[in-house]
Structure 1
Amino acid sequence: MSPLVDCDETTPLLRDDASSDDYEDEDYRSRWRSIRVMYFTMFLSSVGFTIVITSLWPYLQRIDESADASFLGWVVAAYSLGQMVASPIFGLWSNYRPRREPLVCSIFINLSANIYYAYAYLPRTDNKFHMLMARAFVGFGAGNVAVVRSYVAGATSLKERTSAMANMSACQALGFILGPGNSVLEEPEEIIDQVAVLTSNVLFFIVMFIFAVFETISTPLSMDMFAWTRKQAVLYNGVIICCIGFESILVFLVVKVASQRVGDRPVLLAGLAIIFCGFFILLPWGNHYPKIQWADLKNNSLLSKMSETAIAANSSLEPTGCPYEQTWCQYTPAIHLAQYISSDFIIGVGYPACNVMSYTLYSKILGSKPQGIYMGWLTASGSGARTLGPVFVSQVYTILGPRWAFSLICGMVVGAIGLLSCVYHRLIAFSVRHGSIIE
């Protein structure tokens, strides 16, 4: 029996139909121009974010010596907190007004906040708090991602969404001139499965929480485990993140094919399993212990001859290794460089698969109706995760060490796999649920 057809779900808003009239052809080209510009803007935004996140810890230490690893967690979290607050606002705004308005506003906020961040070293006191506020405003400006994703989801058919979302995520990994404004849209008439919506938000929260932990801890972890200097940590982690970015592009291409063959849900499940393997590999083991910072200072014959100011000014005498204040450094085995690189590679496979599948499944569950406010809530859940993740890992890592921090992350991933398995049958497209398309 042939499936029933729902025009809203099967007919692309971006149609490539030879019978289309000139107006429809122009509308098709105009929308795709807008989407490609959004891709490029996401790429530029990602480039800026990557540059900042790898240098955040050394910059914080340089402008305010009183800042510690725990405060770093709050600085990283401030970005996501701002984005969490802004995303629903911009998403709702885009549902009832032309998208140009929230996009222009968010870009202006983002630009101003980045200038504030660049000059956070100028005040004579409380520099770390200026940096904290700057990152919060940058995050608020980044709330426009909800508008971008709702536009892409609304401008593509059900069958095109995986590809469109993967392309946009690939542009993010590789690194909005405004598209046509939309008129006021009607709210969805049908009832959306709220359990599926809530579950999707929870799963996305977990995925983003895990990635926030990963990107936050990379620089302090490498400095503690491998005795890298600040300059070395920024350089080497920058290279690693660059490689992960290229790896993610390949993953997005594979995901597009895999989701067409086996479906979105199996790919999401496989991505979570891969992430679990990545963090499990990162658990400390063996009899090799990290180098302790106080050993450098104790054995430094120049210490008694030079003031602390002179030592700080001379980068060649920068203390390296695991700080003695972190008591776990004395009894927790060091993480080997091979472990660290292998884990980065594996997480670099699992995270992009989970990320794009989370967005794709969510947009299909919602259907082709206006998604601005829903995408705003999804982005807010991800931003909430990126707010709590850095705070969580900076506190647990500083007090208890990597063994506890990464064990808890592994437990969280297992919980996500269990949740996905329990509601697996409900995470289906809106049109499939209502019988207009057979899955």
Structure 2
Amino acid sequence: MTEKKSVRRRRFFSLGVVSFTAFIFNLSFSIILTSAKPYLDKMDPEAGTDFLGLFIAAQPLAQLIFSPIMGYLGNKLGSIRILSMISMSFLAAGFALYACVAALPEPRRWYLFAARFLIGAAGGSITLCFSYIATATTTKERTMAVSLFQMAQSSAFVVGPAIQAAFAPLGSIIPVEGESQLYFDMYTGPAWLSVILAIINVFVFLPCMFTEYNIAREEGEYLAGLAAKKDKEANKETPKLKDPDVIGLVTCIIVFASVQFNFIFLESVATLLTMEMLGWDEQRAIVIVGIGFACAGLYSGLIFSVMAPTSRKVGERVVMLAGILFLLLGPVALYPYNGPPPQFRCNGTGIKIARNNHWPGCPNCAQPWCETLPAITSGQMITGFALIVTGFPMGASMGNAIFSKILGPFPQGTWMGILGAGACLARVLCPISVTNLYSTYGTWYAFGFMTLVMAVVLVIFLVFYKHLVPYKYDESR
């Protein structure tokens, strides 16, 4: 199969456009990653940690709904252009609402929920991007293309938290009771920046910038033609295309969902742990956790960059197995093994102890386990998060690559939507379950639950290991 150099350049440029889209979406998402908990507390102090899980889950819940819809519509329309432009419009609207919550009447928690839901609805564009990569690359190119796509997403997590940290000097403005106003501070500034980026992304999909290609179909027809020619020469009946291995596809969905489960786990507890276990105030937590996420994004990007050559050398399934093991060990490192309890937020009478006009520490008045369980140290947090950040790119890139190869020549939009929906379901369940286990029972239960989830995923992966192989056009070959 031959391809003109000019066509190949345009095709590679189109892959760059979808990677840029993923970068913009994840950049916008990561800009507000570390400030979700403090912003919720500012806008609605009565919401509490229990609502935090639902607040964080709003975004993946919307993706759970819209990912398969976008994948299905992408297949039906045969194009991702209009759908991607609509998705980016949702992103702009969601962040505009997020920034304007202070101007709306109390209670504001549900406005924040609605804003994150709109942002999540825009996540359907990621399904479209994955689907397009599968159709605009050959089988040989796909692992590299997926790795570069994931690296673009990862690089957004380098820049995003750094941007949030850069807005920190603006400080936070506490809404005046009974008044509704618009504020431009460390929380709303990044949201308005995200609105601008989303609007730019809409224009990137105009016909003058973006041209769509489907080389996967051409490759499938070419290989099928070769197989038919060889069978004709050997006087054999031309074999029909067999269905893709559903067991392998479901296994990939489970593994990919568990990878997302662990990542949203970081979002759910990173800032929360530093404020409650280490006693940091909100501004310090946002800045340092933001820097930590930026370093983690850079580190993940480096891992993504070596995924393609590494997988060719040792095999994609081996890399995926290594990723699962790292993700299994991450929560184990966060167990509260020994040491003193964290500093308390309340005294013996249940009154909050103010330190420099902040309320740091573990809220023992609402979470009695704070007084009996050891605090998690900063060293444990660094170790646990490093293990998870190491496993995430391995599982994410190999999960997508193997999933796409199992599908082979079949239309990938709907299946990619299902893959995205599985990941979103995990990202809905994780913040709700983990934050509720954490607030009610403490760190042992929360991190023990994470370990149990990954142990089950490891068993499933090993049992169905042999199904995780690329689609074969001819069973006899």
**Which band: TM-score by shorter chain?**
0.7 to 0.9
Whichever residue aligns with residue 445 of structure 2, its letter is W
Q: Which shows bigger deviation, 68-77 or 203-212?
A: 203-212
Residue 370 of structure 1 and its aligned partner are, at CA, apart by 1.7
**1:351 alignment partner in structure 2:** 392
**1:3 alignment partner in structure 2:** none
**2:5 alignment partner in structure 1:** 25
Equivalent of 1:132 in 90, 93, 113: 113
Q: What SS does the aligned partner of 1:282 have?
A: coil
**1:316 alignment partner in structure 2:** 356
**2:453 alignment partner in structure 1:** 412
Cα deviation code 1:125-152 (max 9, x no counterpart): 1211000011111101111111101111
Whether 2:282 is the aligned partner of 1:230: answer yes
Q: Cα–Cα, structure 1 residues 298 and 374, in superposed 2: closer, same or farther, change >3 Å?
A: closer
Whichever residue aligns with residue 52 of structure 1, its letter is I
In 2, the alpha carbon distance for the partners of 1:132 and 1:64 equals: 12
In 2, the alpha carbon distance for the partners of 1:433 and 1:392 equals: 45
Whether 2:16 is the aligned partner of 1:36: answer yes
Equivalent of 1:282 in 334, 337, 353: 334
**2:88 alignment partner in structure 1:** 107
In 2, the alpha carbon distance for the partners of 1:368 and 1:296 equals: 66
Equivalent of 1:151 in 132, 138, 142: 132
**2:122 alignment partner in structure 1:** 141
In 2, the alpha carbon distance for the partners of 1:124 and 1:274 equals: 45
Q: What SS does the aligned partner of 1:335 have?
A: coil
In 2, the alpha carbon distance for the partners of 1:140 and 1:298 equals: 41
Report if aligned partners of 1:161, 1:360 keep a CA contact under 8 Å in 2.
Answer: yes
Whether 2:411 is the aligned partner of 1:363: answer no
Report if aligned partners of 2:407, 2:471 keep a CA contact under 8 Å in 1.
Answer: yes
Cα deviation code 1:143-171 (max 9, x no counterpart): 11111011111111112111111100000
In 1, the alpha carbon distance for the partners of 2:474 and 2:130 equals: 23
**1:241 alignment partner in structure 2:** 293
**1:264 alignment partner in structure 2:** 316
In 2, the alpha carbon distance for the partners of 1:105 and 1:433 equals: 40
Q: What SS does the aligned partner of 2:39 have?
A: helix
Residue 403 of structure 1 and its aligned partner are, at CA, apart by 1.0
Equivalent of 2:429 in 373, 380, 388: 388
Report if aligned partners of 1:296, 1:320 keep a CA contact under 8 Å in 2.
Answer: no
Q: What SS does the aligned partner of 1:430 have?
A: coil
Q: Cα–Cα, structure 1 residues 296 and 221, in superposed 2: closer, same or farther, change >3 Å?
A: farther
Residue 182 of structure 1 and its aligned partner are, at CA, apart by 6.2
In 2, the alpha carbon distance for the partners of 1:238 and 1:74 equals: 22
Report if aligned partners of 2:135, 2:213 keep a CA contact under 8 Å in 1.
Answer: no
Q: Which shows bigger deviation, 419-428 or 211-220?
A: 211-220
Whichever residue aligns with residue 165 of structure 1, its letter is V
Residue 299 of structure 1 and its aligned partner are, at CA, apart by 9.3
Q: Which shows bigger deviation, 45-54 or 290-299?
A: 290-299
In 1, the alpha carbon distance for the partners of 2:313 and 2:474 equals: 20
In 2, the alpha carbon distance for the partners of 1:433 and 1:202 equals: 27
Q: Cα–Cα, structure 1 residues 286 and 433, in superposed 2: closer, same or farther, change >3 Å?
A: farther
Residue 298 of structure 1 and its aligned partner are, at CA, apart by 7.8
In 2, the alpha carbon distance for the partners of 1:121 and 1:365 equals: 48
**1:250 alignment partner in structure 2:** 302
Cα deviation code 1:338-383 (max 9, x no counterpart): 1111111121111111111110110011113320111011001111
Residue 206 of structure 1 and its aligned partner are, at CA, apart by 1.7
In 2, the alpha carbon distance for the partners of 1:199 and 1:118 equals: 39
Whichever residue aligns with residue 118 of structure 2, its letter is F
**2:167 alignment partner in structure 1:** none
In 2, the alpha carbon distance for the partners of 1:170 and 1:428 equals: 23
Residue 295 of structure 1 and its aligned partner are, at CA, apart by 3.5
Residue 316 of structure 1 and its aligned partner are, at CA, apart by 2.5
Whichever residue aligns with residue 237 of structure 1, its letter is V
Report if aligned partners of 2:75, 2:413 keep a CA contact under 8 Å in 1.
Answer: yes
Equivalent of 2:420 in 372, 379, 396: 379
**1:200 alignment partner in structure 2:** 252
Whether 2:67 is the aligned partner of 1:87: answer yes
Cα deviation code 1:180-234 (max 9, x no counterpart): 2469x99995311111111211222222112211221111111110001111111
Residue 245 of structure 1 and its aligned partner are, at CA, apart by 0.2
Whether 2:106 is the aligned partner of 1:75: answer no
Whichever residue aligns with residue 37 of structure 1, its letter is V
**2:186 alignment partner in structure 1:** none
TM-score, reference length from structure 2? 0.81
Whichever residue aligns with residue 212 of structure 1, its letter is I
Report if aligned partners of 2:275, 2:361 keep a CA contact under 8 Å in 1.
Answer: yes
Report if aligned partners of 1:40, 1:171 keep a CA contact under 8 Å in 2.
Answer: yes
Residue 433 of structure 1 and its aligned partner are, at CA, apart by 7.7
Q: What SS does the aligned partner of 1:126 have?
A: coil
**1:308 alignment partner in structure 2:** none
**1:54 alignment partner in structure 2:** 34
Q: Cα–Cα, structure 1 residues 237 and 194, in superposed 2: closer, same or farther, change >3 Å?
A: same
**2:211 alignment partner in structure 1:** 180
Whether 2:25 is the aligned partner of 1:45: answer yes
**1:403 alignment partner in structure 2:** 444
Q: Which shows bigger deviation, 206-215 or 288-297?
A: 288-297
**1:8 alignment partner in structure 2:** none
Q: Give unmatched runs, 5+ long, in structure 1.
A: 1-10, 12-16, 304-310
Whichever residue aligns with residue 101 of structure 2, its letter is A
Cα deviation code 1:37-79 (max 9, x no counterpart): 2212211221211111211111111111111111011011000
Q: Cα–Cα, structure 1 residues 43 and 296, in superposed 2: closer, same or farther, change >3 Å?
A: farther
RMSD (CA atoms): 2.2
Q: Which shows bigger deviation, 315-324 or 353-362?
A: 315-324
TM-score, reference length from structure 1? 0.87
Q: Cα–Cα, structure 1 residues 369 and 329, in superposed 2: closer, same or farther, change >3 Å?
A: same
Q: Which shows bigger deviation, 240-249 or 206-215?
A: 206-215
Q: Cα–Cα, structure 1 residues 394 and 234, in superposed 2: closer, same or farther, change >3 Å?
A: same
Cα deviation code 1:18-48 (max 9, x no counterpart): xx4xxx3332222111111221221122121
> How many positions carry a matched residue from both structures?
403
